[in-house]
Amino acid sequence: MEDAEAPMTRPSIEAADRLIGVKHPVLTHGYVVLVDYMGGDAAIVQAARVSYGAGTKTVRDDRGLIRYLMRHRHTTPFEMVELKLLVRLPIYVARQFVRHRTANLNEYSARYSVVPDEFDLPPPADVRRQSTRNRQGRGEPLPDDVTERFRSDVSRISADAYRAYSTALEAGVARETARLVLPLAYYTEWYWKTDLHNLFHFLSLRLDPHAQEEIRRYAVVMAEIAKAIAPVATEAFEEFQLGGLSLSRRELKAVRALLGGATAEAACDLAGLPLKREDGRRMSTGEGVEFLEKLERLRAAD
């Protein structure tokens, strides 16, 4: 146990202190700001050693201990680090943030305040066809005329909606009611506070290529902020979670078949990872397809 009489001070991390109050732009009018933080790599180590006891201090260095914790999914010490962010984001992105019920947030209230006339307008490269593989995602580019017509519609509809909103306010309609005419492209903002363990979970999902591109851009900025606060922990997260692969029991069976000389398709068949439909057509999604994608990742790994 540490000396209870020893004076306690708030640890300061120079790289993180430099980020406090700095706006990191995202999308058309959005940003992420680090408001405050508590703890860093040292807090993770301190929490872990309270559990293990002082006698373990010479067993492994701090970096080794943090990597051990991440590797073996001992998550509690990572909860000792907290981040408070100010995030400005379109409403359609905000609805994805709140799917993660592991943060404390306080949102700008359109009942008390007038919503600023700021809406998100995606660049042409972001307006694409519906993906044929990912039911939630985008795929191939669209013809230029389709893209520009959509962007023009977003601008026109947003401008018309804000004009109706302003007219309603001027006529005396309550703010909480007048806001109903505003589309999802308009911006909101909130304070968003979470611990490092739950932030890593958020990043593991929102940095994934299957996540919507707009929220991925917020996740990239948040990952950089986490790296300034806890660089060793973030490095371990990137290596063992973002850069790692998990294998199911069937996938392990397929790997054993591959090591025994089977082809990838034979290994999938042996392990019960289907690659074809009942009518014989090749599947574009499913466990077998995902396993082959994992094999491709292994082949492409540095």
Based on the residue annotation, tell me whether 206 is a catalytic residue of this protein: yes
Structure tokens belonging to residue 95:
């609805």
Nearest to 182 by CA among 160, 150, 155: 160
Given 206, 249, 277, 282, the catalytic residue: 206
Alpha carbon distance 128, 141 (integer Å): 5
Tell me if 233 sits within 8 A of 78, measured CB to CB: yes
CB atoms within 10 A of CB 184: 13
What is the residue-wise DSSP string for 43-77?
Answer: HHHHHHHHHH-GGGTTTS-HHHHHHHHHHTT--GG
Instruction: Give residue for tokens 């999938």.
Output: 268
CB atoms within 10 A of CB 158: 20
The count of C-alpha atoms lying within 13 angstroms of the C-alpha of 279, restricted to the half-sphere facing its C-beta, is 2
Alpha carbon distance 78, 200 (integer Å): 9
| CA-to-CA dists, residue 122 to 148, 157, 254, 285, angstroms | 10, 14, 42, 28
Alpha carbon distance 57, 53 (integer Å): 8
Over the Cα atoms of the chain, what is R_g?
Answer: 24
Tell me if 254 sits within 8 A of 270, measured CB to CB: yes
What residues are annotated to the active site? 206
